[in-house]
Structures are given as structure tokens and as C-alpha cells.
């Protein structure tokens, strides 16, 4: 009887330990506003990634962003070149593609992922509002 109890306790400890380890490896994902993103860019050493097409990126992009096209067949290989231990800030036009990209980056093992709520459209609106207040 004691052997059965100790066996059950041992199995329970293994399950709990594996769950704790799994949780500690999970990604931290946060949907951020333009104000929050501005602070993150100032305070953290991040990788800023524009997941729109190269044409969209060429028309306009956030300074210091690198372009990794979510719809590109090389997308998985391209994100594999990023540092998984360093925070990543993602954006697209309005938030749809970057939300899909978050899932892929979680699966690839990225630890800290920020997604700009509303995409570059919201970012531009936020910055133009800031400029008007300064005037």
C-alpha cells in the first residue's frame, strides 16, 4: 500500500514540475497602444518588425523597423534569424496580420512579444495628434 501511495505522489510531483517548467517557457504576449509602444521603444532593447508587404513598407514605416512580410513563403525562416530572447514589437496596417504573426512567433519560441493595437494606422494617428498638441 505504501508503495502505491509513494508512486502516486511521485507521479503527481512529476506532473506539477512539468507544468511549472512548461509555464515558465511560455511566451509573454501583450497588445499595446501607441503610447505604450513609444515607451517600450524608448526603454527596452527591442526588435521592431513591420509584417506588411515590401511595397507597403516602402510607402511608409516606423523608424528603425525591419520588414518581414507575413505573407512571404520565407516568413518562418526570416523570423528564425531574430533573437528569440529579445522582445519583439510587431505591427501591420490595422492589426490583423500582426495578430496572426504573434501565434507563429509563439510557436517559434519567442519569449516576449508586443503587438501594436490598430497597427501603423493607429500609430500615425497618435503621432499626428501629438504634433497638433505641440503646435
Q: What is the pLDDT of residues 61-103, one digit of tens each?
A: 999 999 999 999 999 999 999 999 999 999 999 999 999 999 9
| CATH-assigned architecture of domain 27-134 | 3-Layer(aba) Sandwich (3.40)
Domain locations in the chain as residue ranges: 27-134
Residue with cell 501603423: 120
pLDDT digits (tens, 9 = 90+) for 25-68: 567 899 999 999 999 999 889 999 999 999 999 999 999 999 99
59-86: buried (b, 16+ CB within 10 Å) or exposed (e) per residue? eebbeebebbbbeeeeeeebbeebeeee
Amino acid at each position: 500500500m505504501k508503495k502505491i501511495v509513494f508512486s502516486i505522489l511521485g507521479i503527481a510531483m512529476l506532473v506539477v514540475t512539468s507544468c511549472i517548467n512548461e509555464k515558465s517557457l511560455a511566451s509573454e504576449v501583450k497588445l499595446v497602444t501607441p503610447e505604450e509602444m513609444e515607451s517600450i521603444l524608448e526603454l527596452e532593447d527591442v526588435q521592431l518588425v513591420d509584417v506588411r508587404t515590401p511595397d507597403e513598407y516602402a510607402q511608409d514605416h516606423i523608424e528603425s523597423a525591419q520588414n518581414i512580410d507575413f505573407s512571404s513563403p520565407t516568413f518562418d525562416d526570416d523570423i528564425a534569424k531574430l533573437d528569440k530572447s529579445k522582445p519583439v514589437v510587431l505591427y501591420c496596417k490595422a492589426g490583423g496580420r500582426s495578430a496572426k504573426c504573434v501565434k507563429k512567433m509563439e510557436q517559434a519560441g519567442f519569449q516576449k512579444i508586443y503587438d501594436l493595437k490598430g497597427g501603423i494606422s493607429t500609430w500615425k494617428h497618435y503621432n499626428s495628434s501629438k504634433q497638433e498638441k505641440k503646435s
